[in-house]
Amino acid sequence: MEEPTGGLAGRREQARGGWPRRGLLAALLAAAAVAGAGLPSFAPATYAAVIAVGVVVLGAACRTHVRTARARERPALWWPWAVACAAFAGLEAWALLDPAQPTVSDLMDPVLAEPVWRGLAWGVWLLAGWGVVRR
């Protein structure tokens, strides 16, 4: 008699396979963050890495959408978030148009010059990209 693949048995099986998979992903993320810590700004290798990761995530996010697409109701109070994001975007646009004003990355450059913080930033960015793909 065949073992059932769905239901409780399926979920248990998935849970058994889940932790090693998560561990592997965490190890890969840590390795990528360490590698990213060694990639300086304005370097061709860094440009290539960021573009390559972006292409992979965009492709994966679009494929995931085909599988899981479902319309969600718009939250009633969405606009405070839109205002806050627009304020941030407005500041950034102003700084990009006026060379006398620093962009947020100009302000963060001294921090991100440190390999530890740079590696952490790579890790956070990659983790966020993973979250976008999974959502």
Residue 67 engages other proteins in binding (rule: CB under 8 A): no
**Between residue 4 and residue 43, which ones bind other proteins under the rule CB under 8 A?**
36, 39, 41-42
Residue 97 engages other proteins in binding (rule: CB under 8 A): no
Q: Least distance from C-beta 8 to other proteins, angstroms?
A: 27
Distances (CA, A) of 37 to 5, 45, 48, 99, 113: 42, 12, 15, 28, 9
User: How far apart are the C-alpha atoms of 2 and 11, rounded to whole Å?
Assistant: 16
Residue 123 engages other proteins in binding (rule: CB under 8 A): no
Answer yes or no: are the C-beta atoms of 116 and 37 closer than 8 Å: yes
Nearer to other proteins, 26 or 109 (CB): 109
